[in-house]
Amino acid sequence: MGDPVGRLDPVVLHHVVNTLGWPDLRPLQRAAIDPLMDGEDAVLLAPTAGGKTEAACLPLLSAMSEQRWSGTSVLYLCPLKALLNNLVTRIDGYAQWLGRRAALWHGDTRESQRRRIRTDPPDILLTTPESLESMLIGVKTDHGRLLGSVRAVVVDEVHAFAGDDRGWHLLAVLERLQRVAGRPLQRIGLSATVGNPRQLLTWLQGSGAGVRPGQVVAPELGPIPASAASGAPSGPPPGEVELDYVGSLDNAAKVITALHRGEKRLVFCESRRQVEELGAALRAREVTVFLSHASLSAEERARSEQAFAEARDCVIVSTSTLELGIDVGDLDRVIQIDSPRTVASFLQRIGRTGRRPGSTRNCLFLATRKDALLQAAGLLLLWGRGWVEPVTAPPEPRHLVAQQLLAATLQQHKLGDRTWPQIWNGLPPFDHSAAPVVRHLLDEGFLDEDGGMLFIGPEAERRFGRRHFIELTASFTAPPQFTVLAGRMEIGQTDPSVLTEDRPGPRRLLLAGRSWQVTFIDWGRRRVFVEPADSGGIAKWTSGSVLGLSHALTRSMREVLLGADPPVSLTRRAEVCLAEWREDDAPDMVRPDGTLICRMGDDVRWWTWAGHRANATLAAALPTVTDPVQRPTDCYLRLREDLTYEMWCAARDTAAADASLVLPDVDRRAVHGLKFSAALPQHLAVATVAARLADFDGARAVLRDSVLFQTELPG
């Protein structure tokens, strides 16, 4: 077999050597050439900054030249507009080597630029799935002319799609695009390390799974086990990691101010409120600080990220918005406030460092609470074993089925009442199994039927028809927020509760790390006008639905309480805090060979250490002994005050003998968190939410464990 590099277009090779100055390609880039130029589907795996963009682009550009593709032949999809903004100049530069062109289309793209793309389609179009949906249903775009020549689709950060409803939306839109193009589309996913890469590839292939050739390309990560489906152990990753307990966000600001002066530091927080409060605390200590989170305006985030990229002795504080591959310059250090929820997220974050020759990946954890320290220690214990979560799509996306039926009807103006599953090439759940959803859409007037054809109905026009059905292009529900303006400059958005809750004194907001005094509120247009204030601002946002910690992470936290230490440096403060956990709290929470039920007065707790979803499933399986008022936590379930030993044994024996556990109970108000739930029958919407709250495997594992009663129960 010859060297695969020889298959690249000579002009591409020339520029790799002379323009990029690379003496050779990386192993991933070399290994991707043959499968991508042969038209195979693929998932390319490498750590952050592993050269995945070039591994996809160089072979596709060579295939474009060799096979003389014309029109818009490659789509490059990303989950974030900021990531697209960051990539377009680089990808367009590569395309220009061959006299080709790349262009950008997303929600912030000006109409004049969109007109140019419609008139003169680029060879590579960088966009989001939501913008792709808008092209398919929009009245201004001839989607057949613009998208009919697409041959390959690159999905960057594919794991970020696959784990939530945006992934279902992406798959459905790609199947519809395939019908427009009239050919199977080559699908290429770019991802950091995941626990189930082969399953991720199968998911990405959609209706082509088992039909089209595909492979996982990950030469730098070693062999990928065929059975890697529930977290892939691969040995301890490299990196200098330290865990510290600081006790408060203000103390975290003191540590960040005192340590690593002269270095460029990226600090990750787990909420927008934390970002704002830490940013303000650092600015008060005269640290050069920049902020980035989803409720800051695009202009404010861009200013922060550009200033940070160009500065040296500074800090940028961010939520997960900077976790993905946006370039913020040459980082010295990553600092994590408290703990992310997944190992995969931590791998993305630590991967932002260690890019300079001779430098090492590093991360300093600063836990502001005792429970956050325990969570961080549990996460780092998993990381040290080389374990990464599997990426799994949320089950039963019936609300997305309803959305797709309406969007496809808009796209094609009418659908056959029996042939509509062909639009998605038979891909479940957009196949005949969706018939109950179609019936509901007809019964409620979302769709009309005439002569064996389906049309958009008046109820769809009423609920989703504003701005030509723009609401149908997003698969998630965003809580209402007010836009904050200082003069004509948009700063960002704030939660309406900050404007309505009763507080003494002037009403002040904390946004972009600064305090602002409210001068006027335009309630009708959801706008807040502000002017600078010295201090006293409050940051607050309503969080979306949170499913709690996973079974694996919560079990790992239990191991820490039982004495396991993560393979990282622990400061003296962290060691003392963990020792206090183990000595004072652990005896009433954990035991090494099973689970524990403790009674303290009227408070009876079953310490399962199973994760929120498994505990919610257990609560539904044991309704006669669980407290119907108290919601399950990650670590324990509250049991009835009058629990007796006989009641417990009967309930547990019944649940253990029943092979099929029941779905957790759902507050019917929770369905409002599902976008398009209005287009579903109530019972199907509730069933969708319940399926997403369940963890049957985790619940069964707990039911198999022995149980110790710390305090003797009556009876």
Are 431 and 359 within one domain? no
More confident residue, 580 or 541: 580
Are 526 and 443 within one domain? no
Residue 230 included in any domain: no
What is the count of structural domains for the chain?
5
Are 402 and 430 within one domain? yes
Are 463 and 508 within one domain? no
Q: How far apart are CA 100 and CA 397, in angstroms?
A: 39
Q: Give the model's pLDDT for residue 227.
A: 44
More confident residue, 211 or 525: 211
Helix or strand run (H / E) with residue 90: helix 81-96
Give the side-chain half-sphere CA count within 13 A for 465: 10
Q: Give the model's pLDDT for residue 445.
A: 95
Q: Write out the residue range of the structural domain in which residue 129 sits.
A: 4-221
Q: How far apart are CA 253 and CA 73, in angstroms?
A: 49
Contact partners, residue 665, CB within 8 Å, separation at least 6 = 616, 619, 620, 690
Residue 652 included in any domain: yes
229 pLDDT higher than 50: no
Are 501 and 621 within one domain? no
Contact partners, residue 657, CB within 8 Å, separation at least 6 = none
344 pLDDT higher than 50: yes
Residue 186 included in any domain: yes
- Among residues 455, 473, 491, the one where a domain terminates is 473
Residue 434 included in any domain: yes
Are 213 and 281 within one domain? no
Which amino acid is present at 559? E
Are 65 and 163 within one domain? yes
Q: Give per-residue pLDDT as tens, 357-393.
A: 777 889 999 999 999 999 999 999 999 999 999 999 9
Are 134 and 78 within one domain? yes
58 pLDDT higher than 50: yes
- Among residues 323, 358, 384, the one where a domain terminates is 384
CA quadruple 373, 376, 382, 383: dihedral positive or negative? Answer: negative
Q: How far apart are CA 394 and CA 690, in angstroms?
A: 11
Q: Give per-residue pLDDT as tens, 149-173.
A: 999 999 999 999 999 899 999 999 9
Cis, bond preceding 429 (omega within 30 deg of 0): yes
Residue 487 included in any domain: yes
- Among residues 166, 188, 221, the one where a domain terminates is 221
Residue 560 included in any domain: no
Residue 686 included in any domain: yes
Q: Give per-residue pLDDT as tens, 449-502.
A: 999 999 999 999 988 877 677 777 776 666 678 899 999 899 999 988 888 877
Are 515 and 366 within one domain? no
Tokens encoding 223: 């062999």
Q: Give per-residue pLDDT as tens, 275-299.
A: 999 999 999 999 999 999 989 988 8
Domain at 256, CATH number: 3.40.50.300
> What are φ and ψ of residue 681, in 5° steps?
-60, 145
Are 421 and 487 within one domain? no
Are 376 and 418 within one domain? no
Are 286 and 423 within one domain? no
What is the DSSP-derived secondary structure letter of residue 585? I
DSSP 176-238: HHHHHHTSPPEEEEEES--S-HHHHHHHHHGGGTTTS-EEEE-GGG----TT--S-----PPP
Residue 108 included in any domain: yes
